[in-house]
């Protein structure tokens, strides 16, 4: 049975989740996180994607993005996932699928819930069975510090511009 087409709503953002195949770790070392973020930044520019929040967990990724069309969002995710998979498989001498199926995308209306969603995404390291950090600002692989603390925006687009 064919899978259902994605629902795409104009003037919406999307909470995107992609998981490691069989819940495997997709980030083993710090350099893996750095490479993923580098690929994400290039893809963002290539496909005109706005990125409002992210959190890279050891076995999955959360993104809060906005795309002009569903095709842009799909191509963006395909480019990121393929680029990182190639890096991972080459680095760790593995083959096969890194990601579990296609990515999940949940529409988020551009209102105060969007800020709630960004907070939810960035607080993932606190909600694990054993919290990964005591303070969310200490987790290196989320957008929290750039979005809430730093005045320098390197990766993120300003969430306030959309509200």
Residue with structure tokens 């498989």? 89
CATH superfamily of 12-158: Transposase IS200-like (3.30.70.1290)
Q: Flag the least confident range among 41-45, 83-87, 99-103, 107-111.
A: 107-111
- Bridge partners of 20? 99
Which helix (H) or strand (E) covers residue 104, if one does?
strand 104-109
pTM of the model: 0.92
pLDDT classification of 142: cutoffs 50, 70, 90:
very high
Token code pair at residue 30: 């710090």
CA–CA gap between residue 111 and residue 131 (Å, rounded)? 29
């Amino acid at each position: 049975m064919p899978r259902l087409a994605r629902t795409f709503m104009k003037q919406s953002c999307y909470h995107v989740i992609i998981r490691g195949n069989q819940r495997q770790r997709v980030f083993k070392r710090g350099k893996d996180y750095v490479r993923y973020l580098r690929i994400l930044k290039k893809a963002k520019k290539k496909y005109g994607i706005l990125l409002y929040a992210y959190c890279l967990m050891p076995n999955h990724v959360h993104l809060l993005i906005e795309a002009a069309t569903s095709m842009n969002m799909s191509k963006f995710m395909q480019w990121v996932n393929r680029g990182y998979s190639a890096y991972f498989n080459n680095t760790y001498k593995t083959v096969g699928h890194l990601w579990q199926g296609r990515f999940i995308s949940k529409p988020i209306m551009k209102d105060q819930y969007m800020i709630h969603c960004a907070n939810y995404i960035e607080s993932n390291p606190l909600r694990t069975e054993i919290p990964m950090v005591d303070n969310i600002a200490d987790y290196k692989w989320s957008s929290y510090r750039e979005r809430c603390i730093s005045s320098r925006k390197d990766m993120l687009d300003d969430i306030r511009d959309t509200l």
